Chains A and B, each alone.
Chain A
Amino acid sequence: MSRRVVITGVGAICALGHDARALWQGMREGRSAIAPLTGFENQDMRVKVAAQVRGFDPAAHFDSRKLILLDRVSQFALVAAREAVAQSGIDFAQGDLRQRSACVVGTGTGGEVTNDECSRRMYGEGNPRLHPLSIVRRMMSAPASQVSIEFGITGPSFAVSSACSSANHAFAQAFALVRSGVADVALAGGTEACLTLGVLRAWEAMRVLSDDTCRPFCKQRRGLVLGEGAGMVVLEDFDHARARGADILAEFAGAGMSADAGDIVMPSDIGAARAMTAALRDAQLAPEDIDYINAHGTATPANDPTETRAIHVALGEHARKVAVSSTKSVHGHALGAAGALEIVAAIGALRDGAVPPTANFIDPDPECDLDYVPNAAREMPVRAVLSNAFAFGGLNAVVALKRAA
């Protein structure tokens, strides 16, 4: 069985705002939410800036009995999932839909806030007694479990982890479940709450963080800026969505995955290109059908020229014509949630006919020779989009979306 799969709901939370609308508006305006890092004032931090979720009051979303079970990473996933489900109008209580639904959530680092608290108690305070719910808060699969519990989803539910590609790999798995008929509906996305002292220190040591802001594909780029948040979508069998009169936001046309099987940190243009080509083939799209690529675009010295070469390889002549932008310039790099925030850009571009810009762009880098839509959104019809994610460790996942027919 091979069915058409559509997106009928989307939700998000990140530094640009606490819902998908705020995220898309911020992306479209090229309004960067990157700001001086706060919350670590007593530490001598090398990292200066981040894209932190601000003004988030967990108690406004969860009662205290629920909250005690939730690491920040699960809180984000639930907030995004509630928004996506509400928008889709889906009622999981109908018929056997709970059993016919799946839940796949990507995360790169899992329950790091809980992990950090445990470490502080043990090593900092010499206190061997950890909170009894530490395990269920911090396990990598906690967000997937919490989302399945929230909506009573009893079909296939699990976590996916591939560092910065986690969300796109999660979309690919959920898409396969719906397309093949294993499930009629899937809640899928990615979540990350990685801005803890331990994770920040580890990133500092890698020397890939920017000290000013995130400037993808630009000559003055100085590295990546960490972010956090979550994005979730409702994927649904096309006939199922049509039968209930759902508003179809976009068609999830295909996904492509590959591994570089090379260096643990240096990306490979060939590996990235193979994932893009696989996504095009899976979606039965030609390079000429793609009007916009939401790039991985981390703004590290290595990623941006490598991704540029990969786009040339995958799209050939058409690479010169396609609009490419990295919205990490406004919402930062949310690691395992990156693809889940960026699918909001893909959906927005398809629906509104506007490509969000690469913000903070100063001068072009000769090694990055594509059209990066610098600083200002471009109004143009967008028929199909690729959204790229390329992780440390060489794990690549690209998703292809089409305008709702």
Chain B
Amino acid sequence: MSDDVQKTVFAIIAKEAGIDESKVTLDSTLKDLEIPSLDAIQIIFEIEDHFKIQMPDRDPNFDTESVKGLIETVEKLVADKAANPNPPPANPPSA
């Protein structure tokens, strides 16, 4: 797991949820951190903006998945983007 991604995601969660960064751990879920859904979608938005990626709509699950799962998803999307810098649109017009 890349330290950079982890550090950035921790910082975004802390900032958007208005909580101390020291409270965020790899094992915490957004539910443990008492982050309401409106804050959760802002966290996703900021992560997408920062890493220039697009997170799937329902993954990670805001309530049950841990911060670790969130970071793994981000890392996978960042790696996919590096491997394929100009992907076709997710839903091409012909679909």
Contact = CB atoms under 8 A, between A and B. Distances in A.
Interface of A: 41-42, 44-46, 48, 205-207, 209, 211, 222, 263-266, 302
B91 interface: yes
B51 interface: no
Contacts of B58: 207, 222
A207 B90 contact: no
Contact of B41 (A41, A46, A207): A207
A263 B93 contact: no
A264 B36 CA distance: 11
B57 A211 contact: yes
Contacts of A205: 41, 45
A45 B46 CA distance: 19
23 contacts: A41-B93, A42-B93, A44-B89, A44-B91, A45-B91, A46-B54, A46-B57, A48-B91, A205-B41, A205-B45, A206-B41, A207-B41, A207-B44, A207-B58, A209-B57, A222-B58, A263-B36, A264-B38, A265-B38, A266-B36, A266-B37, A266-B38, A302-B37
Interface string B45-67: 10000000010011000000000
Contacts of B93: 41-42
B71 to A, nearest CB: 19
B87 to A, nearest CB: 10
B90 A46 contact: yes
Nearest to B90: A44
Contacts of A264: 38
Q: Main secondary structure on chain B at its contact with chain A?
A: loop
A209 B44 CA distance: 16
A206 B45 CA distance: 9
Contact of A265 (B37, B89, B90): B37
Contacts of A207: 41, 44, 57-58
Q: Give the top 7 A-B pairs by smallest Cβ distance, nearest first.
A: A44-B89, A41-B93, A207-B41, A207-B57, A265-B38, A44-B90, A206-B41
A46 B55 CA distance: 11
Q: Main secondary structure on chain A at its contact with chain B?
A: loop
Contacts of A211: 57
Nearest to A206: B41
Contacts of A265: 37-38
Contacts of B89: 44
Contacts of A209: 57
A117 to B, nearest CB: 22
A41 B94 CA distance: 8
Contacts of B37: 265-266, 302
Nearest to A211: B57
Interface in B58-95: 58, 89-91, 93
B29 to A, nearest CB: 16
Nearest to B44: A207
A206 B39 CA distance: 11
A359 to B, nearest CB: 22
Nearest to A44: B89
Interface in B16-36: 36
Contacts of A45: 91
B26 to A, nearest CB: 23
A264 B58 CA distance: 21
Nearest to B62: A207
Given A205-B45, A265-B38, 11 more contacts: A41-B93, A42-B93, A46-B54, A46-B57, A205-B41, A207-B44, A209-B57, A265-B37, A266-B37, A266-B38, A302-B37
A250 to B, nearest CB: 38
A48 B45 CA distance: 20
Contacts of A266: 36-38
Nearest to A265: B38
A395 B48 CA distance: 31
Contacts of B90: 44, 46
Which among B36, B90, B91, B93 has the greatest number of chain A C-beta atoms within 10 A? B91
